[in-house]
Amino acid sequence: MNAAAPHSPRTLVTGVIGSDTHIVGNRILSMALEKAGYKVVTLGALTPAAAFVKSAVETAADGIMISSLYGQGELDCRGFRELCIEAGLADILIYVGGNLVVGKQPWGEVEHRFLDMGFDRAFPPGTRTDEIITALDRDFKARADATRSPGTAKP
């Protein structure tokens, strides 16, 4: 996104999607991301899907980090990638994490479901912030390498 200013920090939008008020985990994540050198746009609790996308457009964000703790995440996140494509953010990195579904379901299945929905990564409850930052660094590096040598890197 920020092609003209490659040295500036990458921008990430964070928030808790839908009618969910559980803000603590998302706030811890936002602080950790800032500490890791990212510019963080925090939308907080009770954030509609469209608000994530609109703020990402305005701030030219490089990634969107969605939290959901109340079990309705699957419903709230449905069509999120399509919303991004519609807004001209087809390639934006999107992560989701938290208690994403109702009841006890094997994590592998849940993760698969979210990756199918177009999320780049999904994280189960109890994920440490370091893990997320490592994944982000890796994904951004892979993208940067892909743009530097087009044709050689597989998507």
Partner 1 sequence: MSAALLIDFGSTYTKLRAVDLGRARLIGTGQGPSTVATDITVGLKAALQDLEQRIGELPAFRHRLASSSAGGGLRMVTVGLVRELTAEAARQAALGAGARLVGTFAYEITGADTKKLTELAPDIILLAGGTDGGNRDVLIANARTLAGSSLQCPIIVAGNRVAADDVQAILDGAGKPVMVTENVMPEFGELNIEPAREAIRQVFIDRIVHAKGIDRALEMFDQVLMPTPAAVLEGARLLAEGCRGHDGLGPLLVVDVGGATTDIHSVCSGEPTQAGAVRRGLPEPHVKRTVEGDLGMRHNATSILEAAGIEAIAADAGLSAARLATLVQRAHEEIEWLPQSSEEHAVDHALARAAVRLAVRRHAGTTETVYTVTGPVSVQRGKDLGDVGSVIGTGGALAYSTKPGEILAMALADPKEPLSLRPANARLLLDREYLLYACGLLAAVEPKAALTLALQHIRPLGQEEQHGQSSIL
Question: Given the complex with partner 1, which of 70 and 140 has the nearer CB atom?
Answer: 70
Residues at the interface with partner 1 (CB under 8 A): 1-2, 4-5, 8, 11, 13, 19-22, 39, 41, 45-46, 54-55, 57-61, 70-71
**Would you say the C-alpha torsion 48, 112, 88, 152 has a positive or negative sign?**
positive
DSSP string, 76-138: HHTTHHHHHHHTT-TT-EEEEEES-SSS---HHHHHHHHHHTT-SEEE-TT--HHHHHHHHHH
What 3-state class would DSSP assign to 34?
Answer: helix
Question: Given the complex with partner 1, which of 47 and 132 has the nearer CB atom?
Answer: 47
Whether 112 is a known active-site residue: answer no
Considering the complex, what minimum distance in angstroms separates the CB of residue 54 from partner 1? 5
Considering the complex, what minimum distance in angstroms separates the CB of residue 154 from partner 1? 28
Whether 20 is a known active-site residue: answer yes
Query: Among 20, 62, 76, 120, which one carries the catalytic annotation?
Result: 20
Question: Given the complex with partner 1, which of 65 and 121 has the nearer CB atom?
Answer: 65
Catalytic positions, please?
20, 22
